[in-house]
Amino acid sequence: MREVDVVVLGAGIGGSVAAGLMSREGYRVAIISQDAGTKNHLPESWDYKPLHRITNLGSGEKILSTLKKQSHCCFCSADGRRSVEMTVTDVQNKIEIGDLVQVDRNQFDRVLLESALEAGAKFFPMSTLERCEISSSGVATCISKGGELHEFTSSFIIDATGKRAFLSNHLKLPTREETLDTRVACFSHFETPASKVDGIRIVAIEGGYLFCIPISDQKLSVGCVLAERLVDLSASPEKIFGFAISLSPYVTELLAGAKRVLPVIPAKNTQKICLEPAGPRYRLVGDAAAFLDPFFCPGIDFALFSAEQAALTIEEDSALGYQRAIMDWLEESKRSVYQKMENSEWGAIMRLFADPHLPFTLPLMLTQAFTQIVGAEIPLNVGIKAARRAYDLSSY
């Protein structure tokens, strides 16, 4: 039997940050995770905003090394013969608060976990939860690891199991769920013989698109987003994925000889918020508390914020304080999404494409780009109209 102060379930962003902060405050923390602490995450976007206490974890420089500002994307037709490339390079390469950055999630998560372990947290990887009981006297957790059972007693438990939301299901906590999108999406990872794709590629297919995102020199993530009407919804994710790939000769050729290294994973298209993310001895953080619409990219921010609040309110023993902070954050995040879009640099970039003081040059490029992707002649006046519309939309 191991006696600790806090058991943290999950070694993603939420779990590692909560564990790191609590360990630094002198709590004895055990992180229990079903994986080895290494993941197969795609790069994600983050509106860079290091929180005060997280910066104090002492990994600021290491965290910065996992972030990139430059982004490159190639949009192409199903056969790969027509394409348009877009690169956004920030000439002033310094990352500042509020910048939208690309996060190497594999390294980012590793840095946060290492930081928690340096602060004294103990890590139990590759563990399966067998039992978890929360009572007024404490929390009893039992895991199996390598065929052996390990028992823990603790004063608190933090659930950071991501969208699996272990504790919320286990305690049957009330949740609010909304469907986000009626399209079907799934993805998998492949080992390619050599790196055949040099950046993100979005491939247009009938009724949707495929994405190819290099994860490393040898690994490629490929996914599809398809209209529901094109898919047999009772079919397995493998079948749906295979069908989508067959719609693009270019991606079919790209994956010829590639080894699939993950099952085909269907992407969740619901948003799920737990209405009781805190109780006398527990806190839910990150996706386990609220799985949010990834389109607006708030997941990293929320995992960091909720982990910080969990650590703070455990110290203050205030479940209500946590609940309030989480609900306020969610409300504020809804409000700020559109504001962020309006204020983003993208508005300025769109304006460049359509500036009426640059007659024809940029609308012409836009028309040519559309013509290349669609593979049919688009009249210049349609391109100009699209450019003017983009200008109007981005000019407030």
Residue ranges in 154-173 that form contacts with ligand FAD under rule CB under 6 A: 160-162, 164, 166
Does residue 267 belong to the site contacting ligand FAD (CB under 6 A)? yes
* Residue in the structure block whose two tokens are 């290494």: 38
Residue 97: helix, strand or coil by DSSP? coil
For ligand FAD, which residue of 286, 326, 353, 369 counts as binding (CB under 6 A)? 286
Single out the segment in contact with ligand FAD by CB under 6 A; choices: 21-29, 43-51, 167-175, 193-201: 43-51
Candidates 64, 129, 173, 312: give the one binding ligand FAD (CB under 6 A): 129
d(CA 78, CA 291): 32
Amino acid making up residue 177: E
Using the minimum distance from each CB to ligand FAD, give the nearer residue, 223 or 363. Answer: 223
Residues numbered 300-339 forming contacts with ligand FAD, rule: CB under 6 A: 300, 303
**120 contact partners, CB below 8 Å, separation of at least 6:** 23, 24, 28, 29
277 binding ligand FAD? (CB under 6 A): no
Which of 30, 32, 134, 184 is the binder for ligand FAD (CB under 6 A)?
32
Q: Residue from 8, 11, 311, 362 that binds ligand FAD (CB under 6 A)?
A: 11
Does 287 bind ligand FAD (CB under 6 A)? Our answer is: yes
**Contact between 394 and ligand FAD per CB under 6 A:** no
Of 33 and 192, the one with the shorter C-beta distance to ligand FAD is 33
In this complex, which beta carbon is closest to ligand FAD, that of residue 96 or of residue 377?
A: 96
Per-residue tokens: 340: 């962020």
Q: Classify each residue of 238-247 as buried b or exposed e, where b means 16 or more C-beta atoms within 10 Å of its C-beta.
A: eebbeebbeb
Task: With CA atoms as reference, report the closest residue to 162 among 309, 351, 330, 300.
Answer: 300
Q: Does 211 bind ligand FAD (CB under 6 A)?
A: no
Residues in the chain: 396
Question: Angle CA(13)–CA(16)–CA(21) in degrees, nearest 5?
Answer: 120
Q: How far is the CB of 163 from ligand FAD (least distance, A)?
A: 6
C-alpha distances (whole Å) from 355 to each of 89, 130, 231, 380, 389 are 20, 62, 41, 15, 11
Residue 157 or residue 160: which is nearer to ligand FAD going by CB?
A: 160
b/e map 166-202, b = 16+ CB within 10 Å: bbbeeeebebeeeeeeebbbbbbbbebeeeeeeebbb
**Choices 40-48, 130-138, 202-210, 352-360; region in contact with ligand FAD by CB under 6 A:** 40-48
- Report the residue number, 161 or 367, with the smaller CB distance to ligand FAD: 161
Tell me the closest approach of the beta carbon of residue 319 to ligand FAD, in angstroms.
19
> Does 68 interact with ligand FAD (rule: CB under 6 A)?
no
Does residue number 208 form part of the binding site for ligand FAD (CB under 6 A)? no
CA distance 168 to 276: 9
- Binding segment for ligand FAD (CB under 6 A), chosen from 31-39, 117-125, 270-278, 383-391, is 31-39
Name the helix (H) or strand (E) containing 52: helix 52-55
Rounded to the nearest 10 degrees, the angle between the axes of helix 361-374 and helix 345-354 is 100
- Asked if residue 181 binds ligand FAD (CB under 6 A), the reply is no
Residues 6+ apart with CB under 8 A from 257: 193
Q: Any residues with CB less than 8 A from the CB of 121 and at least 6 apart, and which?
A: 8, 19, 20, 22, 23, 29, 30, 31
DSSP 8-state code for residue 268:
P
Q: How many residues bind ligand FAD (CB under 6 A)?
A: 30
**Candidate segments 38-46, 144-152, 191-199, 362-370, binder of ligand FAD by CB under 6 A:** 38-46
Contact call for residue 34 and ligand FAD (CB under 6 A): yes
Binding residue for ligand FAD, selected from 7, 18, 30, 46, defined by CB under 6 A: 46
Stretch that binds ligand FAD, among 6-14, 244-252, 351-359, 377-385 (CB under 6 A): 6-14
**What is the dihedral sign for C-alpha 27, 33, 36, 41?**
negative
Return residues touching ligand FAD (CB under 6 A).
Answer: 9-15, 32-35, 44-46, 129, 160-162, 164, 166, 267, 286-288, 294, 297-300, 303
